[in-house]
Homo-oligomer: A and B are copies of this chain.
């Protein structure tokens, strides 16, 4: 899948956000800079701008995720959009309608922006290929493939604390194999010029030939954290613990859980990040999650700004002469 090819218009404007792959550093920087302008917004007395007034944003979630849906709903409402929440699995399967028929119907209602979430890879990409010119798509997570707004808020959070990407070591720890978050982070960090991206996981949770993504794999967490500037913990899907991929919760925590002890291998001012929701005591110790190095709650705050930024950029290039 080369979803990235589909994200720009012929004129070079960003039209969809499906993946961080193939996005230029200029585009990523534009998203980060625009998010910057929304970051003090949350502190204002009136958290509302009319940028998306009169636009209809549809949260089209084929996979349930209250948390992610809420962040997009808040972002869209602060931009003054009308928001429609659709639990689309119900919509489409109950009456045997195909996903594309669902989408065609919604776009016939003159909706402007679809935020698409699906447990299958490629859903947002598929939809983006079939919508008319005036509709934009944001991928809010598709299977193992991509979760670009999560990656962008992570990059944004790093930029808040580190002036330069060109001298950073970033370690991503956990189930790299199944993680759309890791995949999107790796593409974005590479594009931003991070020279040393490490992935740390048991061999069973590393993709084969993972080096081709431009990362350094480690199965030993102590070695992988050595002098790291940033440690990004992934959420462990607890349901995978039942399978044969992981030995057991306690053993996993011993080997790959982030503890104060292990964290001492990293640089003194290391940032600890996690996309949430965290499994305390499973992939990260509570005292580390709540500790001085943790910027986990900043990530949540930044997530609203980044989503406002992406929505504003996708919708912004389309001013028509009639208004």
Residues of A within 8 A of B (CB): 42-48, 53-56, 64, 66-67, 70-71, 73-74, 77-78, 82, 84, 86-87, 90-91, 94-98, 101-102, 104-106, 108-111, 238, 276-280, 297-298, 300-301, 303-304, 318-320, 322-323
Which of A54, A276, A319 has the most chain B CB within a 10 Å cutoff?
Answer: A54
Q: Is the CB of A110 within 8 A of B42?
A: yes
| Cα distance A104–B55 in the bound complex, in angstroms | 30
Partner of A70, one of B73, B101, B109: B109
Query: Does B45 lie within 8 Å of A320, measured CB to CB?
Result: yes
Cross-chain contact A323 with B44 (CB below 8 angstroms): yes
Whether the Cβ atoms of B280 and A109 lie closer than 8 Å is: no
List 16 A–B pairs whose Cβ atoms lie within 8 Å, in order of A's numbering: A42-B110, A45-B319, A46-B54, A56-B74, A66-B86, A66-B90, A70-B84, A74-B82, A77-B82, A96-B277, A101-B277, A105-B300, A108-B298, A108-B300, A108-B301, A110-B304
B-side contacts of A104, CB under 8 Å: 297
Complex Cα spacing A84 to B74, Å = 8
Q: A77-B82, A84-B74 are contacts. A46–B105 as well, Cβ < 8 Å?
A: no
